[in-house]
Amino acid sequence: ILNVEQSPQSLHVQEGDSTNFTCSFPSSNFYALHWYRWETAKSPEALFVMTLNGDEKKKGRISATLNTKEGYSYLYIKGSQPEDSATYLCASSNRDDKIIFGKGTRLHILP
């Protein structure tokens, strides 16, 4: 059984500051790591999919890194804006295509 852990559970960041949070996952039988952005009352929206150790992906002010050997991924947000307030979900899948989601990191941007 895969366990995907995300930390912190909740985070308050001042507008304009940069921040990052972590997703850890079992490295054995790893296949892919997903990051989703989930706004309240909406559905999760895919940000990144990463498969290779050392992968780094970027979309605007948001970027993510992947370390498959030690089983962690970081999500970075540079210069936080109010619209970044959301829950960021991480999901890991193994080679049997079983996808497990973490509980998410709830990000609040303070004006």
Partner 1 sequence: DTAVSQTPKYLVTQMGNDKSIKCEQNLGHDTMYWYKQDSKKFLKIMFSYNNKELIINETVPNRFSPKSPDKAHLNLHINSLELGDSAVYFCASSQVLDSVYEQFFGPGTRLTVL
Question: How far from the centroid of its chain's Cα atoms is residue 47's Cα?
Answer: 8
Say if residues 48 and 55 touch (Cβ distance below 8 Å). Answer: no
Region binding partner 1 by CB under 8 A among candidate stretches 17-25, 29-37, 55-63, 71-79: 29-37
Query: To the nearest whole angstrom, how small is the minimum distance from the Cβ of residue 45 to partner 1?
Result: 7
Helix, strand, or coil (residue 91):
strand
Residues forming a β-bridge with 66: 73
When the beta carbons of 8 and 16 are compared against partner 1, the nearer one is 8
Residues near partner 1 (CB under 8 A): 31-32, 34, 36, 42-46, 49, 51, 89, 91, 93, 97-101, 103-104
